[in-house]
Amino acid sequence: MKYAIKFLFLFCFLTQQLSAQEDVSFFEYWKSYSDIENSLYKHFSAIAYDQLEQTKSETNNLKTAEDWLERQTTVKNKLLEAAGPFPEKTPLNVQITDVLKKDGFRIEKIIYESVPNNFITGALYIPDGVKKNAPTIFYACGHSREGFRVEIYQHIIINLVKKGFVVFTIDPMGQGERYEYWDEQINQSILPIPDHEHSYAGAQCIISGYSTASYFIWDVIRGIDYLLTRKEVDPNRLGMTGRSGGGNLTAYIGALDDRVLATAPECYITSYEYLYRSRGPQCAEQNLYQMVGKGLDHADFIQARAPKPTFIISTTRDFFSIQGTRETFQEVKTMYDALGKPQNLSMIEDDAIHQSTKKNREAMYAFFQKELDNPGSNVDMEVEVPTVKELQISKTGQLNTSFNKETIFSLNKAKVAKQEASLLKKRSDYSAHLNKIVTDAKQISGFKAPSNLKKVIFSGRYLSNRILEKYLVSGSGEYMLPVVLLKPLQNIRNEVVLYFDTKGIEHAVQQDSIVSGILDKGYTVLVTDLPGIGELGPGYLKGDSYIKEVSYNQWFAANLTANSFVGLRSEDILRILHFAEKELNATNIAAISNGALGSELLHAAAFTNNIDKIALINPFLSYIDIATTKLYAPSYIPHTVSGAIEKYDLPDLMASLYPRKVLVVDPMSGDGHPASMLNIENSLKFPLEVYKKKGGEKNMVISTNANESQLTISKLLTWLK
């Protein structure tokens, strides 16, 4: 009995101790904010909805043919701006590597250069007996590992050929024989699927201020250039079709290349409203740079080509929402009616998922037979398709191993080199440059000064060997920012430290020793989750296994609206600063970031003079470094600002902080590994020079090899004094 009482007493004591442990979670209690992890994506979705509604209101006011044609000119200019810039046309240097003889047609295996040393693999299908001026279709394949060699694509192509059409098709980047991240040792791409290749390279292009779509579109335009050199092709009877990613390319080319008479985009046309409401914006090349912010939507791809013959092919259970397809069709129909050509726009639906169906194929055959003046049966026939091996075009089956060729990465790297040279020139007059970059950074990042500062919600306190209080602070969107306030019990210093951990509040407070180390020396610390971080993320668009919970889709969603995660988070950092000033009466405020959030902290610090000291632990060095590192760390992408390096980079913001104290601890290269001394010196040369020229070199310190947390704490405490 005595031992039972002792056991019960011990059990109750341990239970009390466990229940008294500090709980730094917020939203299990605040049920009203149960969807808080999606706040980042929903914030930018709300911006997109407003922009799209404005676009709709403009088109709703168009009545006459003149109204629509005036808008068409505007739309074409905007599309060219969003899709370009395109390079000068250069020699195609066409190679025909082999010819396959098949039943009733031949296949010529083609390689051409869309720009010098950028090779494109394609196949030209020519019906027997065709000598000249045949109706011709460019078939754009969707996302597939084998490119155009997939059985269903071959089935469609050969059916078209059997019906008397010349057909040309190519491998898009990251598919078929055009993998850009090919590993010869494992004989496959290091990225699991083509979508990853597209977006991995595409993100670097967006950092540089344009979309990968410019390369995809240009490859097709140059393919059409080649077609028109062939006597078998009638230049006045040219059509284009394709499904999914191929439907996307068909929509682009139909809008931008007037040589294409008839288009039939399949399983793609919808509207951005429904994309945002469902799976989010798709691969990088499917999102023209800042397209939604420019007042464009899917309807504009067709309005730009009206009243040319256009056939929208759809399925009712596609992830490209059928509701969006229907609404877009009705909007565009208004234009075709106004132009007196209602018969030139049509649409078909079949009850299926994202796939090609017999009903839709036969309707597509009939459409091209009518519009390209090639009458005949539209029956979808059973045909024998060539094997993947038969359709190999290059010597090795991969252009990367057959040629020393350009890639999207290398082409973009050359663009970045020019942007960097321009930036270096601006830095040579550092006074004029520094006077301008804060304004540029606000505009390009989409930053808006915090307003509508609502009341703060107190959410509980723990007392142990320290004081821990929890607050909710209104964010810049329809969400609340969780804030943990940590204070020592005694010897409290007159300085507050804002702490932003890329891994979130829980990691900072319960797993990392840095916050405790600062707290032990008498500093008050505010730890906050920002949108997409900790309890505020990542939400339902989590990304995939390769990019490790980093969702390009969410980042694309922000970029489409001409905004950025960085701009939004910078606003929220200033909201936390306001909380410290107003609620804590703090006048001496320092700020520390741990990880990639250094990008956001640098922006926020540049936008206010009220942060006295700035420390960056393990930050990446620059956007240029990420854009020029072939195998960069995907987790850095959400912390970049698209188009920034035309005007500024992180070192410029760092230089703008003079004479405030700046500490950089163990910076990282674009690949996510510790930066070399050479990389650090090259990247941070400008801010170091500015501090030196202005006589404050002691206020900017670069510390390396402080990987031990105690060494990092020691560096921080020295910096805080």
Collect all residues with Cβ–Cβ distance below 8 Å to 520 and sequence separation of at least 6: 488
Collect all residues with Cβ–Cβ distance below 8 Å to 451 and sequence separation of at least 6: none
State residue 687's pLDDT score: 98
Fold of 82-406: Rossmann fold (3.40.50)
State residue 146's pLDDT score: 96
Closest to 192 (Cα-Cα) out of 672, 631, 544, 632: 544
Instruction: State how far the Cα of 293 lies from the Cα of 277, in Å rounded to an integer.
Output: 17
Range(s) of the chain covered by CATH 3.40.50.1820: 82-406, 421-720
Place 123 in a pLDDT band, splitting at 50, 70 and 90.
Answer: very high
Chain-wide mean pLDDT for the chain? Answer: 94
Closest to 101 (Cα-Cα) out of 64, 127, 134: 127
Residue 21 has pLDDT above 90, yes or no: no
State residue 185's pLDDT score: 86
3-state secondary structure of 261: coil
Is residue 400 within 8 A of residue 179, CB to CB? The reply is: yes
Instruction: State how far the Cα of 569 lies from the Cα of 560, in Å rounded to an integer.
Output: 17
The mean pLDDT value for 405-409 works out to 95
Of 293-297, 490-494, 661-665, minimum mean pLDDT range: 490-494
Q: In three state form, how does the secondary structure of 600-663 look?
A: HHHHHHHCCCCCCEEEEECCECCHHHHHCCCCCCHHHHHHCCCCHHHCCCHHHHHHHCCCCEEE
Instruction: State how far the Cα of 134 lies from the Cα of 228, in Å rounded to an integer.
Output: 11
Query: Tokens in use for 481?
Result: 């920012």
Higher pLDDT pick, 15 / 366: 366
Axis crossing angle, helix 565-583 with helix 39-60, rounded to the nearest 10? 120
Collect all residues with Cβ–Cβ distance below 8 Å to 111 and sequence separation of at least 6: 94, 95, 97, 119, 120, 121, 122, 393, 394, 399
Place 117 in a pLDDT band, splitting at 50, 70 and 90.
Answer: very high
Higher pLDDT pick, 282 / 498: 498
Residue 260 has pLDDT above 90, yes or no: yes
Q: What is the pLDDT of residues 519-545, one digit of tens each?
A: 999 999 999 999 999 999 888 876 544
Q: What is the pLDDT of residues 356-397, one digit of tens each?
A: 999 999 999 999 999 999 999 999 999 999 999 999 999 999
Per-residue CA distances from 336 to 58, 68, 296, 558 (Å): 17, 9, 18, 32
State residue 9's pLDDT score: 40
Residue 140 has pLDDT above 70, yes or no: yes
The mean pLDDT value for 69-83 works out to 96
3-state secondary structure of 152: helix
Place 186 in a pLDDT band, splitting at 50, 70 and 90.
Answer: confident
Phi, psi (rounded to 5 degrees) for 236: -95, 0
Instruction: State how far the Cα of 620 lies from the Cα of 670, in Å rounded to an integer.
Output: 6
Place 706 in a pLDDT band, splitting at 50, 70 and 90.
Answer: low
Kindly report the pTM of this predicted structure: 0.94
Q: What is the pLDDT of residues 574-633, one digit of tens each?
A: 999 999 999 999 999 999 999 999 999 999 999 999 999 999 999 999 999 999 999 999
Is residue 526 within 8 A of residue 484, CB to CB? The reply is: yes
Residue 18 has pLDDT above 60, yes or no: no
Q: What is the pLDDT of residues 47-57, one digit of tens each?
A: 999 999 999 99
CATH 1.10.10.10 for domain 421-720: no
Residue 167 has pLDDT above 90, yes or no: yes
Instruction: State how far the Cα of 246 lies from the Cα of 364, in Å rounded to an integer.
Output: 14
Per-residue CA distances from 348 to 140, 239, 325, 355, 468 (Å): 19, 18, 10, 14, 61
Place 550 in a pLDDT band, splitting at 50, 70 and 90.
Answer: low
Q: What is the pLDDT of residues 37-46, one digit of tens each?
A: 999 999 999 9
